Amino acid sequence: MSKAAEIEVTRPAPGVARFTVPLAMPAPDHLHVHVLETSDGPVLVDTGARGSESALAAGLKALGQVPERVLITHGHIDHWGLAATLAPSVLAHPGVAPSLAFAGGDRDGSPGGGWPDAAAMERAFAGFSALVAGVPGIDPLEDGQMVGDWRVLWTPGHDPGHVCLFREGDGVLLCGDLLLPGFTPNIQPAWDGADALGDFLGSLRRVAELPVRCVLPAHGDPYMDARRRADELAAHHAKRLDQLRMELAPAPMTLARLRDAVFSVDVRDSANAMLALMETQAHLEHLHRRGEAYPGPGATWVLAGGGV
């Protein structure tokens, strides 16, 4: 999508308008912006980032309104990079705060758990800060809170502050990045050292139990079967855990070697290489919590009961 004139507004569900903006990154290369009609006025959900400005403006012009309230599903830049151009603060779960601060250049705090150090992350994601047009404040959302007739579901894992919105009356789920069709959302170690993969699997179980009849993802086409997609994503991560167990069985391995063994990633692409490294770390932390693997000597990981 290269021309603002090509913006098309669709109505995937009653009271929901949707248009698509391009993203200035290879993948994902687009984001669906949703505008929800509520009893308290319209709410815009997710915004795109720098590079999406003309499409965002064209979509809002086609709708004939600029909602005063902006809600972000989580703290990844493609979902909020333009938020500050629309409102001084956004509705968001407080768990997004570290991601927003880091993207905005705040290096005072540092991630915990298995995250790489801030300098390594800054080198890998150096270009991402250019996608942010200011950092908005946060009007905190709580799990179970209502936004009109949409219930906020805190679904951490892909991001500590990830939320979905569920409308119980007709089973519509605005899922952000939780249940993406066609590809799997990246899992990163939690900022506070929590079990991010365990959180993600728990979030999948939570939405799989809901009477969902329509899934509206932030990337990709709408679909109906949330439970099937949740099961597919859970199976994907079970397979990845099995791969890590298999690689660790003969002898301890470093994080980088494990990444290269389970991911097909071009290590010359620093951002993708870092994302793969972080996802590998998140899976190893999950195995650690389960007593199946632990950090060993020389920055290696060791399978419990495995080779030495």
Q: Has residue 80 been placed in a domain?
A: yes
Query: What's the pLDDT at 114?
Result: 54
Domain housing 258: 4-303
* Region 291-306 average pLDDT: 90
Q: Has residue 21 been placed in a domain?
A: yes
Residue 156 has pLDDT above 90, yes or no: yes
CATH number of the structural domain spanning residue 117:
3.60.15.10
Query: What's the pLDDT at 2?
Result: 40
Query: What's the pLDDT at 117?
Result: 60
Q: How far apart are CA 293 and CA 245, in angstroms?
A: 8
pTM listed for this prediction: 0.92
> Omega before 28 cis (within 30°)?
yes
Q: Has residue 164 been placed in a domain?
A: yes
Please give the tally of structural domains in the chain. 1
Q: Has residue 308 been placed in a domain?
A: no
Q: Has residue 191 been placed in a domain?
A: yes
Query: What's the pLDDT at 125?
Result: 57
Q: Has residue 92 been placed in a domain?
A: yes
Q: Dihedral, CA atoms, 200, 203, 205, 208, nearest 10 degrees?
A: -120
| Model pLDDT for residues 217-255, shown as the tens digit of each residue | 999 999 999 999 999 999 999 999 999 999 999 999 999
Q: How far apart are CA 104 and CA 129, in angstroms?
A: 7
* Region 286-300 average pLDDT: 93
What is the DSSP code (8-state) at residue 17?
Answer: E
Q: Has residue 74 been placed in a domain?
A: yes
| Model pLDDT for residues 268-283, shown as the tens digit of each residue | 567 788 888 889 999 9
Q: Return the H-helix or E-strand segment holding 164.
A: strand 163-167
**Residue that wins the pLDDT comparison between 116 and 72:** 72
